[in-house]
């Protein structure tokens, strides 16, 4: 199963209940590793914030948020491929 983590909610395809549960479980696993990464995912993917908005609200650089976003996407991808 493949789930694409993009940032434009309007363009996302309908997701079935099983996929929603898998994403939730993957986010819970990620939270155990690094809660900050989950916050970035929630702000970027679910709330639609830009990298700049997240960086400003978190008090870090945009480079840090870009690294966090990429790391979170890779870890979630690996978790969803199990």
What's the average pLDDT block by block, 10 residues per block, for the chain (82 residues)?
A: 57 68 93 96 94 97 98 94 85
- The reply to whether 1 falls in a domain is no
- Cα–Cα distance measured from residue 44 to residue 21, given in angstroms and rounded to the nearest whole number: 19
- The reply to whether 54 falls in a domain is yes
- The reply to whether 3 falls in a domain is no
- The reply to whether 2 falls in a domain is no
- The reply to whether 4 falls in a domain is no
What is the number of structural domains in the chain? 1
pLDDT for the residue 76: 94
- The reply to whether 40 falls in a domain is yes
- The reply to whether 76 falls in a domain is yes
Residue 74 sits in a domain whose CATH number is 1.10.10.10
The answer to whether the predicted template modeling score (pTM) of the entire model surpasses 0.85 is no
Residue owning tokens 């909610």: 9
Radius of gyration of the chain (CA): 12
């Amino acid at each position: 199963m493949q789930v694409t983590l993009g940032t434009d909610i309007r363009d996302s395809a309908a997701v079935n209940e099983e996929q929603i549960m898998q994403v939730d479980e993957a986010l819970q696993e990620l939270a155990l590793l690094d809660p900050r990464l989950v916050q970035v995912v929630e702000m970027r993917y679910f709330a639609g914030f830009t990298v700049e908005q997240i960086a400003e609200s978190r008090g870090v650089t945009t480079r840090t948020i870009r690294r966090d976003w990429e790391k979170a996407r890779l870890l979630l991808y690996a978790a969803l491929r199990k």
